Structure 1
Amino acid sequence: MSTDWKPPKDYRDRPVAVLGAGVLGRRIACIWISAGYNVRVRDPSPQQRSDCSAYVEQNAVLYASKTGKKPGQLTVLEDLQDTVYNTWLIIEAVPEKIQLKIDTFGEIERLAPDDCILASNSSSYKSSEIIDRVSDQGKGRVLNMHYYMPPEVMVVELMTCGFTAGPIFAFLAERLREAATIPYIARKESTGFIFNRLWAAVKREVLTMLADEVSVPQEIDSMWTEMFLNAGITPCRTMDNVGLDTVALIESHYIAERGLSSTKTVDFLQKNYLDDGKLGAKCAKGGLYAQSGPAISTPTKPQILVLDLGLSAKTPSANGGEILQLSADGKVQKALVTGQSLPDGIAVDHATRQVFWTAMGVPGKQDGAVYSASLGGTDIQTVVAPGDVNTPKQLTLDTVAQKIYFCDREGLRVLRCNYDGSDFEVLVQTGNSQREEDAQNALNWCVGVTVAPNLGKFYWTQKGPSKGGRGRIFVADVNTPQGQSGTTRTDIHCIVDNLPEPIDLEIHEQSRTLYWTDRGEIPFGNSLNRVRLDGSGLPITGRRHEVLCRHLQEAIGIKLDLDNDHIYLTDLAGNLYRCSGEGKGRVTLYSDEDRAFTGIVLI
């Protein structure tokens, strides 16, 4: 694998070329236009060029709604040399004829700049099969870049030709994320890449079941929907949870019954996992996934930190808030921090061993603050001083970037800063907090917030009037569109509306599921809820949000512990609950009418 290639510094000022204006070619063009790049599409057919122009004109804005960027320009051409001139990326999407692809790659290497990446959209041919006419030096810039069917499916698979320069993969993956696609990298050449190999196995087994009259299409599709789509089951996690030793035993039975080879199944597991005692989630050594803590079959018992407002105490006080530490079974161990002015949101970075929290102060006054401390409650630091924010609410962390995200309710804002309070940013501004009409309009009040760095998104609630049925959840990109601000950004989308009164949010990135509490009226308020997201971080088309459990008492805090199939919840009636990941089997771990709980976190 070559390492000589370096990313062109001026790639932003250079066009992307797509060779082929067919069904996929025009969609690929829209992808890159939506990321702000100018795109040239080459096709020898006047009709295809015309159809491509019409498709892009009709759909570019839709694609760009996922990126928040100003769309680039499309140029359709017949001449290949004019198409590839000064490009930084060329994507071949010509008909699946091997000699045509070989000739095309030989020609574009000759015509394109020496630093231009040469990609094939082909899923039928590995790129190593189409580089016969590419020089040895040029082979380091060739790879497969396979799209499925955007905008419905935004997955893109990258795969080496055997010579591809290593830095190309990281560079392209970053550019693809800018275009709201989800890149996956095949570690080595493979016919069918990643997904098509998965699909091939599923397809073969489904056809076998149908041929053996084991089931019928309707039942197979229904079970698939319930098990994999609705329940979010994934293959590698499931094998770890079942136990790799059990997986090997089951597979051995199939091998014996069907006369299959064991080389790449049981033998592979035995050599790489079982012989080393890696049995999956039930053991400390882990399995397909590394185990970072106790086995799933023996659930971890975290310490719990909850915020008590202090307003329900026998002697209520606006400065009587506390951070309480409780055991996993709900026994109060100690007050970690006391004397807080209406604490509301809390988060922990276990790597830096810091806890962060907000203090609302007097609602409507500019006296809210954000603080940090060690996990032991010592070394308390002021992150955002009183006077800089109005009423800070839920708080969440991007622990990789070491950024704090939090909402300012009467300040009508979603904010972000570094762990030390520097680089203070207004991500969203829903109104003018100095205007009484705006400040008192609960539709503008930002309350809950969560961030999904891998999706490049953050989410927040605007709760609306108390129990008013007008609450909403919004999403925007982590990076504010260039040249825009919290008041002018165009990438904000309302993803759920007409909610009783949504409060705190948390996202499970692995299953792309957004969870929230709602303190509104029954039957749908005072509840735990979730919605499934697609690869672009938006709700799956046609899927409504689910109410997982109800009958909480002014529900506020939420904390996911889905590795242990737990969700923790708090409410203003002084209750701390735990339920399953599906909202079942709720138990009350702690209850005290002299307390009013808000935020919650596990340590």
Structure 2
Amino acid sequence: MHPTWQPPKEYRKRPVAVLGAGVLGRRIGCIWASAGYDVKIRDPSPQQRIECIAYIEKNVASYAEKTGQNPGKSEAVENLADAVSNAWLVIEAVPEKIQLKIDTLAELETLAPADSILASNSSSYKSSEMLAKVSDATRTRILNMHYYMPPQCMVVELMTDGFTTQEVFPFMVQCSKEAATLPYVARKESTGFIFNRLWAAVKREALTILAEEVSTPEEIDSMWTEMFIKGNVAPCKMMDNVGLDTVAFIETHYVDERGLSPEKTVDYLKKNYLDLGKLGTKCDKGGLYPPVEAKPANTNERKILALDLGLSAAVPSTTGGKILELSLDGKVQGVLVRDQAMPDGLAVDPESKRMFWTNMGIPGKDDGAVYSANFDGTDIETVVAPGATNTPKQLTLDQTAGKVYFCDREGLRVFRCNFDGSDLEVLIQTGNYQDPEDGEDGSKWCVGIAVAPTLGKFFWSQKGPSKGGKGRIFSANIKTPEGQTATSRCDIQCLLNSLPEPVDLEVDEASHTLYWTDRGEIPFGNSLNRIRLDSNGLPIPTDAPLGYEVLTRHFKEAIGLRLDLEHGHIYLTDLMGNVYRTNADGKQKEKIHSDDNRAFTGITLR
């Protein structure tokens, strides 16, 4: 700690002073009053003082709901000395005139206590520009402390004047948190702080787009809302997800086209990330963010649930399928459900503590079904009874909406229903399965399914003929376009084609990444794969030779897939009786269970 700096003496018993009772000043006063501090607001205007106190009295209780404190007293005064004489913190929010701010700090040096912290709310001027009339000693306790518009935005940015004692910042961060604000500290002086610099770049480019007549204000705002607000996309995470090598490639094009300097974009990325092999989330070295480390699993609590088809048993049977429970190290803990007609897709709802699964039945007959049960296999209920579907395959849940999605392979359909089976609807229909020409066309068979509510999309695979190299992955909107049907909807997009034989799908919504298993021919079949998606759910171009990443290979008829990225893992199954676990990047593949008498399909965790 700096040898001459200590927090202001008995600061909890001393007031916070705010200079300026305008729109922002009164809100700053309300923030500190809500944290239990007495507040004195100074303003030369009687009307402003009256309105300021009225605002605080009306709103301080609602502010205090976030702090949990009994509000302090608020007083508005005309005289500067009266406002600051015993203050531990003084925040100037006077008009944005640099000379006025210089003179104000000079007065505060004389009138405020020698241990008080002096802060400027200015975002237009750095506090270093206000130091002309203060001593070197006073400069060590001056900083910028910029608020936006409480209570709608509770962010506050803190920044040095170039001389501020560093110990001031953790102290002010803690005090700011007590006042229910979100403090961010600029690492060095910067015109515009952090957010305003981001906003300046967005504003500048938006105006350039308008000036060049590339788009309209309505379209710009709509696209921003869809991609960044609804999509919950953050800039640094988005760059990591896209890949820093791709970011550098795109920026190089802008540098060349616009005659920009590459120093703080391409050159910065190359020196600090690319040359060190840090390419983003696709890389085990991480990128702007550090790599996700695998968390040790609690094997006493979390379990693997896996479906055994029943066709590799000592006595094969189309009605001998089982739901097995395994520990995370692959040891069978028991059989939860028996005598199932070729189970294939499996998912769990943690809130209701129920598992859902599909039974394919006999392919070609309308005897497939969907069931649910408690985690221990009791209380089995029929969600979709036999007769409504043909060959249900992978199943997934939209837990927020309470919806079950599943594919019907030979039925050439994608279905959705409520958890209780009500409101069963066909979302996608690729042909008439009762027509032999359509029904036997493997390119129309719907197999894997995944849903991404934050993207407003669901995804499915049409695997094509066995080992045929004609597999495809599609997407469509969760909401069917008005007036359109499963056979006529216009929002279907083919994301990938000419795949060996794609099967199960999973989406990581946090990183907008689509994963899938492929049971097709080598060298690229029997693999785990992924591709990054943009905020519209479309593939982001990649330099990978196939147009997507092959994470790991050499499965034996790969089927089931379950992401566990929170713990740094992915779990998979194959039809030869194996359960696998890999790292989040597909590396360090290990076979955690193997049984020649089983044929595994769906897999999940609970």
Q: Does 1:573 align with 2:565?
A: no
Q: Which residue of 1 aligns with 2:486?
A: 486
Change in Cα spacing, 1:297 to 1:602, as seen in structure 2 (3 Å) is closer
CA distance in 1, matches of 2:405, 2:454: 16
| Structure 1 equivalent of residue 251 of structure 2 | none
SS of corresponding position for 1:228? coil
Residue range with higher mean Cα deviation, 524-533 or 177-186: 177-186
- Alignment equivalent of 1:588, drawn from 578, 582, 591: 591
Offset from partner CA, 1:314-347 (integer Å, 9 cap, x none): 1011100000001111111110000100000000
Q: Is 1:414 equivalent to 2:414 in the alignment?
A: yes
Q: Helix, strand or coil: the match of 2:459?
A: strand
Instruction: Say if 2:477 is the partner of 1:425.
Output: no
Distance in structure 2 (CA, Å) of the matches to 1:411 and 1:221: 49
Distance 1:198 1:370 in 2: 37
Q: How many Å apart are 1:500 and its aligned residue?
A: 0.7
Query: Counterpart in 2 of 1:227?
Result: 279
The equivalent residue for 2:403 is: 403
Q: What's the CA shift string for 1:120-155, capped at 9, x where partnerless? A: xxxx99999xxxxxxxxxxxxxxx9996999xxxxx
- Structure 1 residues 198 and 365: CA distance shift in structure 2, 3 A: closer
Q: In structure 2, the residue corresponding to 1:558 is in which secondary structure?
A: strand
The alignment partner of 1:468 has SS state of coil
Can you list the C-alpha shifts for 1:525-569, whole angstroms capped at 9, x where unaligned? 011111111111110034521111111000000001111111111
The aligned counterpart of 2:389 is: 389
- 1:434 Cα shift? 1.3
Match of 1:503 in 2: 503
Change (3 A) 1:494 1:197: closer
Say which SS state the counterpart of residue 181 (structure 1) adopts: helix
Change (3 A) 1:560 1:195: closer
Q: Deviations over 1:64-97 (max 9, x none)?
A: xxxxxxxxxxxxxxxxxxxxxxxxxxxxxxxxxx
Equivalent of residue 551 in structure 2, options 526, 548, 553? 548
CA offset digits 1:163-218 (Å, max 9, x no partner): xxxxxxxxx9xx958984331799xxxxxx9859999xx99xxx99969xxx7764
Q: CA deviation at 1:376?
A: 1.1
d(CA) in 2 for partners of 1:146 and 1:181? Answer: 16
Q: Which residue of structure 2 aligns with residue 530 of structure 1?
A: 530
What is the TM-score of this pair, normalised by structure 1?
0.57
1:601/1:365 Cα in 2 relative to 1: closer, same or farther (>3 Å)?
Answer: same
**Structure 1 residue runs of 4+, over 2 Å off?**
124-128, 144-150, 175-182, 193-199, 207-211, 215-239, 296-302
Q: Offset of 1:591 from its aligned partner? A: 0.6
Residue of structure 2 in register with 1:278 after alignment: none
- Report the 3-state secondary structure (helix = DSSP H, G, I; strand = E; otherwise coil) of the residue aligned with 1:338: strand
Task: Write the distance in 1 (CA, Å) between the matches of 2:603 and 2:568.
Answer: 17
2:561 equivalent to 1:563: no
The residue that corresponds to 1:181 in the other structure is 227
SS at match of 1:318: coil
Shift of 1:297: 4.3
DSSP 3-state at the match of 1:590: strand
User: For 1:390 and 1:145, how far apart are their aligned partners in 2?
Assistant: 56
Cα distance in 1, alignment partners of residues 268 and 357 from structure 2: 54
Stretches of structure 2 lacking an aligned partner (at least 5 in a row)? 1-22, 24-191, 197-202, 210-216, 240-246, 249-259
Which letter does structure 1 place at the counterpart of 2:297?
P
Structure whose CA Rg is larger: 2
Amino acid at match of 1:182: F
Distance in 2, Cα, partners of 1:491 & 1:583: 32
Matched, 1:313 2:313: yes
Once the two structures are superposed, residues 445-498 of structure 1 have per-residue CA deviations (whole angstroms, 9 ceiling, x without a partner) of 000000001110100000000000000000111111111111001111111111
Please report how far the alpha carbon of residue 222 of structure 1 lies from its aligned counterpart in structure 2 after TM superposition.
2.9
Structure 1 517/399 Cα, relative in aligned 2: closer, same or farther at 3 Å? same
Q: Deviations over 1:294-321 (max 9, x none)?
A: xx64334331000001011110111000
Structure 1 residues 398 and 232, CA, compared in 2 at 3 Å: closer, same or farther?
A: farther
Change (3 A) 1:441 1:366: same
Shift of 1:407: 0.1
- Give runs of aligned pairs for residues 31-430 of structure 1, distance below 5 A: 176=222, 180-183=226-229, 218-220=270-272, 222-223=274-275, 226-228=278-280, 230-231=282-283, 238=290, 297-301=295-299, 302-430=302-430
SS of aligned partner of 2:384: strand
Where structure 1 has 5 or more consecutive residues not aligned to the other structure, the ranges are 2-123, 129-143, 151-157, 159-171, 187-192, 243-295
The amino acid of 2:507's aligned partner reads I
Contact 1:519 1:555 (C-alpha < 8 Å) held by counterparts:
yes
Q: Assess if the C-alpha contact under 8 Å between 1:177 and 1:183 holds in 2.
A: no
State the 1:228 CA deviation. 2.4
Percent identity among equivalent residues? Answer: 53
Kept after mapping to 2: 8 A contact 1:176/1:182: no
C-alpha separation in 2, matches of 1:531 and 1:477:
19
2:122 match = none
Aligned residue-pair number? 380
Normalised TM-score (structure 2): 0.57
Deviation at residue 231 of structure 1 after TM alignment? 3.5
Q: How far apart in 1 are the matches of 2:230 and 2:489?
A: 29
The two structures, once aligned, show a CA RMSD in angstroms of 4.0
Q: 1:148 to 1:196 in 2, by over 3 A?
A: farther
**Contact map agreement 1:461 1:471 (CA 8 A) in 2:** yes
For the residues of structure 1 that align with 2:236 and 2:553, how far apart are their CA atoms? 41
Quote the residue 1:6 is aligned against.
none
Alpha carbons 1:310, 1:322 under 8 Å: kept: yes
Residue matched to 2:76: none
8 Å CA contact retained: 2:340, 2:359: yes
State the distance in 1 between where 2:204 and 2:593 align.
53
| Alignment partners' CA distance in 2, 1:368 and 1:225 | 49
